[in-house]
Amino acid sequence: DADVTQTPRNRITKTGKRIMLECSQTKGHDRMYWYRQDPGLGLRLIYYSFDVKDINKGEISDGYSVSRQAQAKFSLSLESAIPNQTALYFCATSDSHGTGDGQPQHFGDGTRLSIL
């Protein structure tokens, strides 16, 4: 089983709809992140959370919201989807206590979201 699981893997929806992308992890990591990936732009950070009570905006948080329901779950919502939010979305986790391994981030397989 994957350590970082994203659902759904693919979603097509219409402009104006509310959408929720979910992420769950079995790694026991305290930190979780949401990124979007667009061709030629790499990964851009949307929101991140260092524990259940902590939510922080990334560089492109407008139009998005998040909820950290438990240490293992971090969901991303688009309140009213628009076409330029069409992208590949990734959830990632890291362990703040894992200084020995460089605190790398571990990624899910992504959600491909298309807004028509």
Binding of residue 40 to another protein (CB under 8 A): yes
Q: Which of 19, 87, 105, 113 binds another protein (CB under 8 A)?
A: 105
* Segment contacting another protein by CB under 8 A, of 13-21, 60-68, 73-81, 100-108: 100-108
Binding of residue 8 to another protein (CB under 8 A): no
Q: Which residue number, 75 or 110, has a Cβ lying nearer to another protein?
A: 110
**SS3 per-residue string spanning the chain:** CCCEEEECCEEEECCCCCEEEEEEECCCCCEEEEEEEECCCEEEEEEEEEECCEEEECCCCCCCEEEEEECCEEEEEECCCCHHHCEEEEEEEECCCCHHHCCCCEECCCEEEEEC
Largest CA distance in the chain: 45
Q: Which residue number, 79 or 100, has a Cβ lying nearer to another protein?
A: 100
Best CA proximity match to 115, nearest among 7, 11, 6, 9? 11
CB of residue 1 vs another protein: minimum separation in angstroms? 15
**Which residues inside 51-90 make contact with another protein, applying CB under 8 A?**
58, 90
Q: Which residue number, 35 or 75, has a Cβ lying nearer to another protein?
A: 35
List of residues contacting another protein (CB under 8 A): 4, 35, 40-43, 45, 48, 50, 58, 90, 92, 102-110
